[in-house]
Chains A and B, each alone.
Chain A
Amino acid sequence: MKLLRELLFPAVAVLSAFLVGGVFVLAIGDSPIETYRLLIGSALWWPDGIGYTLFLATPLIFTGLAVAVAFQAGLLNIGAEGQLYVAAFAAAWVGITLAAWPPVVLIPLCMLAAIAAGASWAAIPGVLKARFGSHEVINTIMMNFIAVALVSYFTQYHYRTPGDPIMETAPIGANAHIPRLGRFITGFPERIPVNVAFLLALAACAFVYVLLWHTRWGYELRATGSNPSAAEYGGISIRKQIVVAMAISGGLAGCVGINEVMGYRHLYYDGFSDNYGFTGIAVALLGRNHPVGVLCAAFLFAILSRGGIPVDAFTQHVTKDIVQILQATIILFVAAEGFFRGAFKKFGWSR
């Protein structure tokens, strides 16, 4: 019953968002049913659809977990976007510089570089909050812009192949590539870019679950989030918790770089992120800051972004912008859940 109630609000929020999106579609003279049939059908039942959906879910699982871990500690990490940029570049940098090293060493090293870069970038606002009390929301927003500018500078001036008009680095060494899942599963075409990073994302969900709910440290982190003064009184160092929580959050966001650079493009492409960091906020919120919820929510948002492409192509007027409208409406409804709580109470469905 408790689980049912947990599921009720997110489900109602998603359905309401689809209703609002339907009104938008109707308003410009297209059919909502046809639009949603294309959107969901292409992501789930079309050939290759599910593979691409899993590929698109991978970064969202990482950023969703990142936001969720910070949130459990009472912090709002708006900076996953910047953290994943820095991390992706770090992975590419190691992959280019140490290209000749054997895969056994190079692959873990590239992964570590991404995680460490994301963690350090997130730790800065953590330290600033712990040491000076400056708000992590503002600092993570500012760090996003600094990250984008910094990485774009290195790409443009130091790591671009001379003569390449595109803002991208030289390719990483083949020893740093991680395989696509198609290589292991028969009948699963290798052209689909979903790769080992997806398995890593599933492992990250398990890691976060065990860490937060089955270790002493996770208990302290959640205590910091739910009642900081009581936690402090109980002998927990709030300042330390803030910095460590931000670092773990940033490390998780940094794993997006593993999927992007080592598993997919095999180079750093400037501006690659499709708002993964910000969508991660929606994923965490819809997933109730729990790893299982994050997994489901990431899958839903991946369906939306996969389905946006055929909607763009095969409807009269609807563009893939409908995806952003649906995402934003879902966040608004989940955030303002009092809206539904009031209505439910009126009908006697909820306490």
Chain B
Amino acid sequence: MRDLFTAQLVWSTIRLSTPLILAGLGGLFSERSGVINIALEGMMLAGAFTAASVTYAAGNPWLGLLAGAAAGLAIAGIHAVACIRYKANQVVTGTAINILMIGVPGFLSGALFLSSGSTPQIAKEHLLPWTPIVMAFAAVPISWYTLYRTPFGLRLRSVGENPEAADAAGVNVAKVRYSGVLLSGILAGIGGAYLSIGQSSLFTRNMTSGRGFIALAALIFGKWRPVQTMLACLFFGFTEAVTIQMQGVVKLPSGEDIPVQFIQMVPYVLTIIVLAGFIGHSRPPSALGRAYEKER
């Protein structure tokens, strides 16, 4: 049991948390502006597929990373236009984007690489194992500063808390919300890119496997605040790392494997408990937003 808690576990926790932190912060910008984003999963898939394809074709991971961010941005653009311009139901639009992004990568890889659902292997020297990790952890203080110490952050929060009041104060509500949603696409796109050109070396069908939703859970668990969201992501990354390390190593006294399913449930069960207010109530911090407005 002691062998489990090693440097390897810490390292693995950091690697597994990275895509969650990027997508979680993405969700933060969208949801603090007042637009629900359950499309993080789809935006990550768009980023992952595009980054892998471009890196393979161009032999340049930086171009791949940029393309991944751009793909996330483009998908977020669909969400933003539907939700803000045409006032579509935000949850329904998010669901549609997630379904769309199950289909599009398979469709395109069938035509581009003559394979259903995955891209060709990328050479090891063309991967970016470090950059997205640095970006993720740098994005936390930057997001905090942006949200709480800049005029843009104030506008973003005010639009999310009370758009009527923000509008009366001269804030262009639609413009601020577009910025929030598009930012979330860029961050989630980078998070997805890390999966395909950082953690592994190709895109595989549905490779996010629910990470967009775990990021959303972390955002709620972190009470829609950057630092707390990062801590939640680290915790959820840790549970995943433990799951991977435990398999076949740790056994119950009866000699059987510990069922991984129960560890996999942890983030989701905790989110429900926190949302219901059993341990530290989680709500969009409306009071905090208004206090800032008054002080100004």
Contacts and interface: CB of A to CB of B under 8 A. Distances in A.
Contacts of B105: 321
Interface in B247-269: 256, 259, 261-262, 264-265, 268-269
Interface in B82-101: 82, 85-89, 91-93, 95-100
Interface in B78-128: 78, 81-82, 85-89, 91-93, 95-100, 102-108, 110-111, 116
B107 A141 contact: no
Interface of B: 36, 38, 78, 81-82, 85-89, 91-93, 95-100, 102-108, 110-111, 116, 210, 213, 216-217, 220, 256, 259, 261-262, 264-265, 268-269, 271-272, 275-277
B107 A322 contact: yes
A37 interface: no
A152 interface: yes
Given A275-B99, A325-B100, A138 B220 contact: yes
Interface in A317-351: 317-319, 321-325, 327-329, 331-332, 335-339
A282 interface: yes
A281 B86 contact: no
Given A134-B276, A142-B217, A278 B99 contact: yes
B261 A152 contact: yes
Given A132-B276, A331-B92, A141 B216 contact: yes
B93 A338 contact: no
Interface stretch (A96-104, A143-151, A215-223, A245-253): A143-151
Contacts of A139: 272, 275
A299 B46 CA distance: 30
B259 to A, nearest CB: 5
Interface in A14-36: 24, 28-29
A332 B78 contact: yes
A282 B271 contact: no
Interface in A117-152: 128, 131-132, 134-135, 137-139, 141-143, 145-146, 149-150, 152
A332 B272 contact: no
Contacts of A150: 261, 265
Given A142-B217, A149-B262, A153-B262, A335 B89 contact: yes
B213 A145 contact: yes
B23 to A, nearest CB: 15
Contact of B268 (A142, A157, A275, A324): A142
A336 B93 contact: yes
A285 interface: yes
A325 B36 contact: no
Most buried by B among A24, A142, A157: A142
Interface SS of chain A: helix, strand, loop or mixed?
Answer: helix
Contact of B107 (A138, A156, A319): A319
Contacts of B88: 332, 335-338
A139 B271 CA distance: 8
B116 to A, nearest CB: 5
A335 B93 contact: yes
A128 B85 CA distance: 32
Contact of A135 (B93, B210, B275): B275
Interface string A260-281: 0000000000000001001101
A325 B103 contact: yes
A54 interface: no
B269 A24 contact: no
Given A128-B276, A285-B92, A327-B103, 18 more contacts: A76-B91, A141-B216, A142-B268, A143-B272, A153-B259, A153-B261, A275-B99, A275-B102, A318-B107, A318-B110, A321-B105, A321-B107, A324-B100, A325-B104, A325-B107, A328-B96, A331-B95, A335-B93
A100 B5 CA distance: 50
A137 B268 contact: no
Most buried by B among A29, A153, A335: A335
Contacts of A338: 85-88
Given A146-B265, A319-B107, A335 B100 contact: no
Contact of B111 (A135, A143, A157, A317): A317
A163 B105 CA distance: 36
A231 B87 CA distance: 25
